[in-house]
Structure formats: structure tokens, C-alpha cells
Amino acid sequence: MTRGWSWLPRPLDPLASFKAKVSVLVGGALLLASVTFWFVADWPFRYALLLALVVALVLTQILAHGMTSPLREMTAAAQAMARGDYSIRVRASSRDEVGQLAAAFNAMSADLAAAEQYRRELIGNVSHELRTPISALHAVLENVVDGVAEPDTATMRTALSQTERLGRLVGDLLDLSKLEGGAIVLDLDTFDVAEFLREAVEHTHADVRTHIRVTPTDLVATGDTARLHQVVVNLLDNATRHAPSGSRVVVEAESTRNGLQIDVSDDGPGIAPAERERVFERFIRGGSTDGGTGLGLAIARWAVELHGGTIEVVDQSVGCRIRVHIPSGQDPSGHDPSGHIPTRQPHSGEGDTK
């Protein structure tokens, strides 16, 4: 019934104040009642008064409908939300305080719907991601216990790889919860970029060659090395998993006019233009089925954004190139509340390879 009446005209919507609407409602009802009573003054008094009251009540219902409908709709929507239905929206056509409340209610409903959808997707995705390595690890251990397989080096290496995969997934989920909860505070420090990249490369394990180029060779930057290390390692892990065996992954860092730029490129199949933004979303793996959790690039994006920077997939003729830009911008006191990373540029050169 409420939904059927909600689309009736609301003549008082143009008024921007609820008090003004009440004034118009009371004044209009009194004026119409008086005019009606004047026209039927020759009637018996009780009939004239009754007709005036009826006319005033009809006008009140017409005018008051638009004032109270949003409140009734919000009540019905709140009851539906309590049952888990976040799809109902309130008609917010008025400009007064009730209309602003209805608009805020709609925004809240949309946010709750998005949060509920994310919760369901997260549970489903995490369950799926955990099931695969647990099943594989269970199969390996079951074969060992049943005597089907010997606990030799190859079997134990298989079990170890599955436990490492579980560890990466749990670590990614913990980082994800910290980033989304705002629990991470940047710990800025000055570091040598070339040495920083070499340490990050040492944490990757894949049958590809990694080449590091730093311009200038003694480039120095300031930032949260733990978070930036996480960014580079995740990008290298993504590149090495998609690069063909025996190919090369290139890591380039240079000082730009606005800060520090790091590129990680590989010779893999690349990323289609339509998918380049989605690969930074949670559990999106760009069609890969190689065991990645789908969280690495999402965590890299959030860590870069903590520094006030950007991360994107840029055009490259062969393979994939992901570019990270960290802007510079310290204040004269040397404190940088935004987490921006300044760089200095002594001279030009090129780094070493691994």
C-alpha cells in the first residue's frame, strides 16, 4: 500500500524548509475551510461546519502526503533491512530536512548493500582459496600415511609448497584487513633505491632472470620501506608467475620531476586493456590459474595509495608493465603527514642485474 501511494504528486517538495511546509499546510487548510464556510453560509450551521472540516481534511491529506511519505518509506525500508533486504530505496524528491534524511538513508542502504555483497564474496573467495591448498596438502599427507608415497624430498617439497601457499594467503588476508581498517601508519625512512630493489628481488623464487635498472645509480628516496618492499615483491611475484620460463623480468626505478617511479615489466601474455583496472581488485587474477591468491596487486595498490601515489598498467608492445609513482612533497620541517616520498637526484647511471 505504501509503495503504491509513494508516487503520488508532492506539491510541497519545492519548499526547502519543513517549517515552511507546516505553515503552508496549516494556512491553506484554514483558508480553504473559511472560504468553503463562506460559500455555504446559508446552510444550517452544523452542515456548513462539517463540509468546511471535510474540505480542510482533504487538503491536509493531499499536502501532508509528500511530507510524511518519506518517513513511512524509511520505516518500511528499515524493516526490510532488518530482514536482510537492502534493495529498497526511498523517494527523495523534496528539498527540506526530511528529503535530506531520505537521501542519506538511500546512501546508507547502498553502502550496506555493497558491504554485504563484499562480505559474501569474501567468504566465498576465501573458502575457495583455502580449499585448494588444504586439499592438496591433505592428499600428500594421506598418501604418505597410507604408504602410497614415500616421505622423500620431492614429496615433502610438494607439501611445503602448499603450506607456503597457505601462509601467503593468510598473510595477504591479514594485510588486507589492516589496510581496509586503517590500522597501518607509515614509518618513513631514507633508503638506497638500488639496494632496496636488490633485497626485494632476493625474495622472489622463479625460473626467470631479473634485471634491475636505477637512474641515477645512487638514487635515494624516503618512504615506508616495509610497505614499499611489499609492493615491489608483490609486483615481482605477479611478473615471475606470468613470465615464460627462462625469460627476463625488468625492474626500473628513476627519479622524476614529481617523485619516484618504479616499473616492473615481464615478457608474459600481458593484460587486456579492459582488464587493466580490474586486476587491482580483490581476488581478481586476470584469468590466471597458477595458484595466486588474487590479493597481491590489490594490496600493492593500497600500499601505494597510503603513500599518496598511483599504480597502473601501462602500454607495452610485449608482455606487461606495471608502473608505480610515488610523489614527492615534504614540508620545510621535514615532516610529511601524507606519507609522500621525496627523492633526490645526484646524477644519471644504471644499476646492476641479478
Q: Is residue 332 part of a domain?
A: yes
Residues 140 and 171 in one domain: yes
- Burial (CB < 10 A; 0-12, 13-18, 19+), residue 274, is exposed
Q: Is residue 350 part of a domain?
A: no
Residues 252 and 149 in one domain: no
Residues 213 and 338 in one domain: yes
Residues 330 and 303 in one domain: yes
Q: Is residue 349 part of a domain?
A: no
Q: What is the CATH number of the domain that holds 232?
A: 3.30.565.10
Residues 167 and 197 in one domain: no
| R_g of the chain, CA atoms, integer Å | 32
Residues 85 and 212 in one domain: no
The phi-psi region of residue 75 (left if phi > 0; otherwise alpha if psi is between -120 and 50; otherwise beta) is alpha
Residues 330 and 206 in one domain: yes
Q: CA-to-CA distance for 187 and 37, rounded, in angstroms?
A: 79
Prior bond to 11 cis, omega within 30? no
Q: Which domain holds residue 56?
A: 2-110
Q: How many domains does the chain have?
A: 3
pTM score of the predicted model: 0.53
Residues 211 and 166 in one domain: no
Q: Is residue 354 part of a domain?
A: no
Residues 135 and 225 in one domain: no
Query: Per-residue pLDDT for the chain (354 aa), expressed as one digit of tens each?
Result: 445 455 566 766 676 677 777 777 788 888 878 888 788 877 888 888 888 888 888 877 777 766 777 787 888 888 888 888 888 888 777 777 777 888 888 999 888 888 888 777 767 767 766 777 788 888 888 888 888 888 888 888 888 878 877 887 777 677 767 666 665 677 888 889 999 999 888 876 666 788 999 999 889 888 888 888 888 988 888 888 878 877 889 999 998 888 899 999 988 888 888 777 777 776 555 444 444 445 778 878 888 888 889 999 888 888 889 999 988 744 333 434 343 334 434 333 444 444
3-state secondary structure of 315: coil
Q: Which of 163, 181, 199 is the last residue of a domain?
A: 181
Residues 153 and 260 in one domain: no
Residues 74 and 51 in one domain: yes
